[in-house]
Amino acid sequence: MRNKNLKTLPQKLLSITGKTYQAYKKDFQNGMVTVGNVCSADCCFCSQKWNPPGLLQDLKRLLTLEEIKHFSNLYLKEVNGMGSAIHNNSGEFFLHPHALEILNLFAAANKIHNPIPLFTNGNELTEEIIKTCKKLGLYLSISLNSTNPEARTEIMGGCYGRNKNAIDSISKLDKYNANYCIWIVPLRRNLENGDLEHTIRGLRESKADNILIHLPGYTKYTSSQMVKELIISQKELRQFISDMRQKYKVKISFEIPTAGECFINILLTLSNLFKKRKCLGKKKKLFLCAQSVENVFPLVLQKMQIQKYAIRSVKSTVFGGSVECAGLLLVEDYIKAIADFLEKESQEKPDYVFLPRNSFDVNKEDLSMDSVMSIEDKYDVKLVMC
């Protein structure tokens, strides 16, 4: 139901048009609230620098309050996440001059329900922001990276004072018992010069729910200088995390699930699906999986004793580089994989093609807003997203 506090400016009065308008509309439909792509940091690893050019929409300014009310009132049912986006480049939520007003409007319109993650670089956090987030039950997901202001400024750019504020905010978050976790994107230099360990040690006493280590990644557009900093293997990071747990008894985890966890997740999902749709058993099936699970996927199908199937792992041709996860695969990548399967390997056309759900939004569209249905139309196959 529309809230009378959120008066809607008609689309024709907005200066956002065309694909950019569609991208914000769709992000709000997905419950992802981003307020434009201006950021007070300039992280060297920021995906926005190295994404395929033109793939995501780039507004290059903050949305006005009227624009936010427009998208919210027309398209937002419920907030699922803030400060992050699907079809747009995102920025820093708290850089918006009306950030608190926006949060209070969403709360008044009953659009904030569960503990919702709000992604922030922490630069703009104040006691008032922290208290409001706590009151509204928001979960702050802070990209901290280093507790050394010099190192943080080097990694995340921006101004020294703001980086220092982000680090100092940890004690304020603890003072107000805020719900938060800390994200760290490690660079090769931080692993080797001890800054990463120093940071973890310094966070021992914090009340953060968790310190999450992100696997750094790069695309085919990332500069070679930067790639050197971003090549860190999963094995190396898992060992580092295990050492930190032992040494400092700190809550720290890796964002990437283990092979065992992936196996169980895929097994549960597919078992439920095959129980519900018994007819799938007799049909010819092609499973398309992300490269990140290409070793685990065949084991699940063997365990389930599935018949009449083929599996292909799908390479990210659009992002390239080290990208292996399903979330960054596009319709274009899946079409290439199916074409390869049918043409090069002279395989019979499958009845059903299985794709990872993570590649698509609520409208069944990929990051570039291409619909998954174009695969169905092109190959006359039935799609199953799971």
- Smaller CB separation from ligand SF4, 31 or 122: 122
Q: Which residues pair with 384 in a beta bridge?
A: 354
**Smallest distance from ligand SF4 to CB 307, Å:** 45
**Radius of gyration over alpha carbons of the chain, in Å?**
22
- Smaller CB separation from ligand SF4, 73 or 143: 143
- Say which residue the tokens 């992050």 belong to: 84
**Smallest distance from ligand SF4 to CB 121, Å:** 4
| Cα(283)–Cα(34) distance, integer angstroms | 42
**Smallest distance from ligand SF4 to CB 48, Å:** 6
- Smaller CB separation from ligand SF4, 97 or 137: 97
* CA triple 87-111-124, angle to 5 deg: 65
- Smaller CB separation from ligand SF4, 39 or 103: 39
For residue 204, what are the contacts with CB-CB under 8 A and spacing of at least 6?
248, 249, 250
**Smallest distance from ligand SF4 to CB 152, Å:** 11
Which tokens sit at 31?
A: 């419950």
User: How far lies 15's CA from each of 11, 66, 238, in Å?
Assistant: 8, 11, 47
DSSP structural state of residue 314: E
| Cα(364)–Cα(57) distance, integer angstroms | 18
- Smaller CB separation from ligand SF4, 123 or 206: 123
Which tokens sit at 138?
A: 């928001």
**Smallest distance from ligand SF4 to CB 43, Å:** 3
Beta-sheet strands, E only, within 72-218: 81-82, 116-120, 138-143, 180-184, 211-213
| Cα(254)–Cα(235) distance, integer angstroms | 11
**Smallest distance from ligand SF4 to CB 72, Å:** 21
- Smaller CB separation from ligand SF4, 72 or 121: 121
- Smaller CB separation from ligand SF4, 30 or 141: 141
Residues contributing to the site for ligand SF4 (CB under 6 A): 39, 41-43, 46, 48, 90-92, 121, 143, 156
| Cα(191)–Cα(2) distance, integer angstroms | 50
Q: Which residues pair with 289 in a beta bridge?
A: 313
- Smaller CB separation from ligand SF4, 31 or 91: 91
**Smallest distance from ligand SF4 to CB 180, Å:** 15
**Smallest distance from ligand SF4 to CB 240, Å:** 21
**Smallest distance from ligand SF4 to CB 49, Å:** 8
Nearest CA to 288 among 215, 379, 216? 379
- Smaller CB separation from ligand SF4, 155 or 300: 155
| Cα(251)–Cα(254) distance, integer angstroms | 11
Environment class of residue 350 by beta-carbon count within 10 Å: exposed (0-12), middle (13-18) or buried (19+)?
A: buried
| Cα(81)–Cα(297) distance, integer angstroms | 29
| Cα(284)–Cα(17) distance, integer angstroms | 44
